[in-house]
Amino acid sequence: MEIDFNKYPLPKKLRHHTAANLYFPLEELKKRPPYYPPLIQKISWQDYFDDGKPPAILDIGCAKGKLLLDLTELKPEKNLLGIEVRKILVDWLDELIRKENIPNAAIIWYSVVNGLPFIESNSIDKILYLFPDPWPKRKHHKRRAFNKPVLQEFYRLLKTDAKLYLATDVEEVHEHHLQLLRESDMFDIEIIENDNKWGLPTTNKEAFCRRKNIHFDRIIAVKK
């Protein structure tokens, strides 16, 4: 999507990583920090999309929204919802979407580890979970948002034969994704090496990896 980003300078205090406790369900925290995203039970989609319909595609951890925005142009008939834990990015991208009058894109400030009860079961065509924070140290593995409960929630949301897309430039995280998918036995799994099979626009992180010749892995998991 062609946008003059000079009109939307990124926040000066933007950090790549955020507080670790945002990756834990609120019920597991002794005290709720002030920067923790709100819990959401219901959403009126009329407040987010011009046609008032629910989203068909979820971009989990959408960051600066490059993929989200590009997909809205490629899929004008579909509503796309970005979900991001960094409020500073959510506010920035929400302003861009509104001022550019993009009718089928929206973003919310939320952490998926609390579940997605505001989205109907068997309603989603695609879930994108691309280049998440890797938390590579063993003592930090519990901070990875992609875990059994989150995978079960993704399964609930997806239509039969709908797709979950995963990508990472950290081999250990790729193996973590594969292990959880295989243990769940809820998806048919394909490791993607052909760009045509992937079929998605490039994220900011993927573009960086390609420029720096950094290897990354991709998976498409199809709901059984």
Instruction: From first to last of the 224 residues of the chain, give the pLDDT tens digit.
Output: 889 888 999 887 766 667 788 888 999 999 999 999 999 999 999 999 999 999 999 999 999 999 999 999 999 999 999 999 999 999 999 999 999 999 999 999 999 999 999 999 999 999 999 999 865 555 555 667 889 999 999 999 999 999 999 999 999 999 999 999 999 999 999 999 999 999 999 999 999 999 999 999 999 999 99
163 close to 221: Cβ distance less than 8 angstroms: yes
Q: Indicate whether 211 belongs to any domain.
A: yes
Q: Indicate whether 29 belongs to any domain.
A: no
Q: CATH number for the domain including 68?
A: 3.40.50.150
Q: Indicate whether 189 belongs to any domain.
A: yes
Q: Indicate whether 74 belongs to any domain.
A: yes
Q: Which residues are catalytic?
A: 133
pTM summary value: 0.94
Query: Number of folded domains in the chain?
Result: 1
Q: Indicate whether 20 belongs to any domain.
A: no
| Domain that includes residue 132, residue range | 54-223
Q: Indicate whether 136 belongs to any domain.
A: yes
Q: Indicate whether 109 belongs to any domain.
A: yes
Instruction: Count CA atoms within 13 Å of residue 72 on its CB side.
Output: 24
Distance CA(39)–CA(48), nearest Å, equals 17
Q: Tokens 């709901």: give the residue.
A: 223
Q: Indicate whether 39 belongs to any domain.
A: no
**Torsion of Cα atoms, 14 then 18 then 19 then 22, to 10°:** 120
